[in-house]
């Protein structure tokens, strides 16, 4: 499917500032940072989570472990998916019981991914709390879910697609809004 | 590469990239069995029947556990306590069970091709858990998974399959699969167990274990099917043991980091010596553990996702 780029809403500088601001908010809100763990949702949530962990280390000299969550097995739309979804590994090498979890994803849209992630986390143990951080909140929620830390609120139409690109796996750091090209 | 099949009847119908998809998916499934809550909701609401017309310990409980860890509902059928005792036919048995709105049937049967027959009239997904002397695809997949785990790569490995090749569905499924992944496969055993026709699968045949085992990376032992020995395919257990039993002395001829595999059940002291079966070189129990993850992957790949129009 061809996609037409409509706007470039964040560049690497803006992404960096948003992450810095959110990290400060996290430190402010979590008095006992030592109880905090970060869980990144595959794929881009992992890299955002790692950047935040690194910043906290720089600012507060506290090591925050970062785990990786794959939510494929917890999706609620299995029977509707056309293509097969490859299941990737969940790699959480620490106990989540009694921890304050910071769940990290790139884009918050319908909220269904976050619902799946929370179900998955609760199967792994009983966390003390779960907070949510997203780089982009694009609206159109279908479930009663909101983020605690938001990089940027981005009003979109449902047709549009938001792409978060991070230099760890993409060419550069940027956020794009695209739209499927007219098929006519 | 997606895995798009309605049924899993044999490894001969899978492409190398589909095999890799199953193995990669199993890699992700492995972690679930190490959790405190060993369950994910993926196949909630799916109904599976374990249809075993032949006895089984490992395969049946492994499939049952795999289904349960994915939250599917599974029931076990065994021939002895069913209306087959009252002469109900295979076709009628399957059709009646399927009328209960099943999504998948996992079938083991003593006739080669029984699974193919069932797949011609069944709407459910059919998974072969062993048919006669034909195929046992999930065993070969879990063997490949275990080899890959130990050796990282299957391509180029020298793999021996030793024993009763003629009657072994495990051997056939493994030959198809390992050749597709680029391994060198050598069949070893008495001539009465290895018909020359096997050469057309691209394997080597050697009747001398002491010679063949040199430079082997993997030694896969098969069970001597004692129940079939009335056919007199070899003179005596003692003679077989002298020539083909895997003992410490023989195993020393293989590569230093060679591994031992066996699909079970093992006859201790016949095809493999008891101390070797329990040694660190033996991956027999690892195979069993991996079997659950591999079967979870197979169930997920067949039953997850929208019903597609597939004919195979």
Provide the pLDDT for residue B235: 78
Assigned domain for B311 exists? no
Angle of helix B169-180 relative to helix B137-151, nearest 10 degrees, comes to 50
Tell me the whole-structure pTM to 2 decimals: 0.90
Per the prediction, chain B carries an average pLDDT of: 92
Helix, strand, coil fractions of chain A, as percent rounded to 5:
30, 30, 40
Tokens representing residue A26 in the block: 């996290």
Query: What range does the domain containing A145 cover?
Result: 13-79+86-158
Measured between beta carbons, which residues in chain B are less than 8 angstroms from residue A69? none
Question: Residue A69: is its pLDDT beyond 50?
Answer: yes
Please name the residue ranges forming H helices in chain B: 16-29, 58-69, 90-98, 114-119, 137-151, 169-180, 209-212, 237-244, 248-251, 274-277, 284-303
> Can you name the residues that pair with A164 across neighbouring β-strands?
A175
Q: Per the domain annotation, does A182 fall within a domain?
A: no
Domains of chain B: total: 2
How do A66-69 and A36-41 pair as beta strands? parallel
Residues of B in contact with A91 (CB under 8 A): 31
Domain contains B312:
no
> Are both B126 and B33 inside the same structural domain?
yes
From B190's Cα to the closest Cα of chain A, the distance in A is 43
Specify if B4 maps to a domain.
no
- Using CA coordinates, name the residue in chain B closest to A87: B25
Give the residue-averaged pLDDT of A14-37. Answer: 96
- Closest partner residue to A70 among B28, B41, B307, by Cβ? B28
B299–chain A Cβ distance below 8 A for any pair: no
Compute the nearest-CA separation of B44 from chain A (Å): 10
ipTM: 0.81
Neighbours of B268 (CB within 10 A): 13
User: pLDDT grade, residue B80 (50/70/90)?
Assistant: confident
* pLDDT tens digits, one per residue of B151-188: 999 999 999 999 999 999 999 999 999 999 999 999 99
Same domain assignment for residues B297 and B205: no
Reported as type and span, the H/E element at residue B159 is strand B158-162
| Per-residue CA distances from B306 to A114, A126, B50 (Å) | 22, 33, 23
B151 and B225 both lie in a single domain: yes
Tell me, yes or no, whether B102 lies in a domain.
yes
One domain for residues B114 and B167: no
The neighbouring-strand residues paired with A102 are A38, A131
- Cβ-proximal residues to B62 (8 Å cutoff; 6+ apart), any chain: B288, B291, B292, B295
Clarify whether residues B170 and B217 are in a common domain.
yes
**Tokens for A107?**
């884009």
Gap between the Cα atoms of B176 and B203, Å rounded: 10
Domain count, chain A: 1
Residue A2 counted as domain residue: no
Q: Is B124 part of any domain?
A: yes
Does any domain span residue A6? no
Looking at the structure, do residues B150 and B211 belong to the same domain, yes or no?
yes
Question: For residues B297 and B312, what is the distance between their CA atoms, to the nearest angstrom?
Answer: 19
Determine the pLDDT at residue B306.
Answer: 57
Closest CA to B118 of B160, B147, B86, B90: B90
Same domain, B96 and B79: yes
Least confident piece of the model among A38-52, A113-127, B97-111, B215-229:
B215-229
CATH code (residue B266)? 3.40.50.1370
Q: What is the pLDDT of residues B237-272, one digit of tens each?
A: 889 999 999 999 999 999 999 999 999 999 999 999
Decide if B5 is inside a domain: no
Mean pLDDT of B223-245: 81
Asked if residues A131 and A147 have their Cβ atoms less than 8 Å apart, the reply is no
Same domain, yes or no: B113 and B151: no
Instruction: Give domain status of residue A180, yes or no.
Output: no
Domain boundaries, position B173:
137-288
Chain A and chain B share a number of CB contacts under 8 A equal to 57
- CATH number, domain of A137, equals 3.40.50.2020
CA distance B122 to chain A (A): 20
Percent of chain B at pLDDT exceeding 70: 95
* Whole-number Å distance between alpha carbons of B18 and B39: 25
- Contact between chains at B306 and A73 (C-beta distance less than 8 A): no
């Amino acid at each position: 499917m061809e996609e037409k780029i409509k706007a470039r809403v964040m560049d690497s500088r803006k992404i960096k500032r948003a992450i810095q601001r959110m990290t400060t908010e996290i430190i402010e809100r979590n008095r006992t940072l030592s109880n905090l763990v970060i869980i990144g949702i595959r794929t881009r949530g992992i890299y955002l989570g790692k950047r935040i962990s690194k910043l906290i280390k720089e600012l507060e000299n506290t090591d925050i472990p970062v785990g990786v969550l794959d939510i494929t097995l917890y999706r609620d739309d299995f029977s509707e998916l056309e293509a097969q979804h490859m299941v990737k590994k969940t790699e959480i090498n620490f106990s989540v019981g009694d921890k304050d979890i910071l769940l990290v994803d790139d884009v918050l849209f319908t909220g269904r991914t976050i619902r799946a992630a929370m179900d998955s986390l609760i199967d792994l143990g009983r966390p003390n709390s779960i907070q949510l951080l997203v780089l982009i909140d694009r609206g159109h929620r279908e479930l009663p879910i909101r983020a605690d830390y938001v990089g940027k609120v981005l009003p979109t139409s449902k047709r549009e697609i938001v792409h978060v690109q991070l230099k760890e796996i993409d060419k550069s750091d940027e956020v794009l809004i695209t739209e499927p090209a007219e098929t006519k | 590469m997606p895995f798009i099949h309605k049924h899993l009847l044999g490894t001969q119908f899978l492409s190398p990239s589909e095999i890799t998809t199953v193995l990669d998916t199993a890699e992700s499934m492995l972690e679930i069995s190490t959790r405190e809550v060993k369950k994910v909701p993926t196949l909630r609401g799916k109904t599976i029947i374990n249809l075993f017309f032949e006895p089984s310990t490992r395969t049946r409980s492994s499939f049952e556990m795999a289904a349960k860890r994915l939250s599917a509902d599974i029931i076990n059928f065994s021939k002895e306590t069913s209306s087959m005792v009252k002469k109900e036919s295979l076709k009628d048995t399957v059709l009646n069970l399927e009328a209960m709105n099943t999504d998948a049937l996992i079938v083991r049967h003593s006739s080669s091709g029984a699974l193919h027959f069932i797949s011609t009239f069944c709407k459910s997904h059919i998974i072969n858990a062993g048919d006669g002397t034909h195929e046992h695809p999930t065993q070969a997949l879990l063997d490949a998974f275990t080899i890959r785990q130990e050796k990282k790569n299957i391509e180029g490995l020298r793999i021996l399959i030793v024993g009763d090749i003629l009657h072994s569905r495990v051997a056939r499924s493994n030959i198809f699969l390992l050749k597709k992944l680029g391994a060198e496969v050598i069949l070893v055993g008495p001539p009465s167990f290895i018909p020359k026709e096997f050469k057309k699968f691209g394997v080597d045949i050697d009747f001398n274990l002491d010679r063949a085992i040199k430079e082997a990376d993997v030694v896969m032992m098969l069970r001597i099917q004692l129940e079939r020995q009335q056919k007199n395919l070899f003179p005596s257990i003692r003679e077989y043991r002298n020539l083909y039993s895997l003992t410490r002395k023989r195993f020393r001829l293989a590569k230093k980091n060679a591994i031992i595999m066996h699909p079970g059940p093992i006859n201790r002291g016949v095809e493999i010596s008891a101390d070797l079966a329990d040694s660190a070189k033996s991956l027999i129990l690892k195979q069993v553990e991996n079997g659950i993850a591999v079967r979870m992957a197979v169930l997920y790949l067949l039953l997850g996702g929208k019903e597609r129009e597939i004919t195979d």
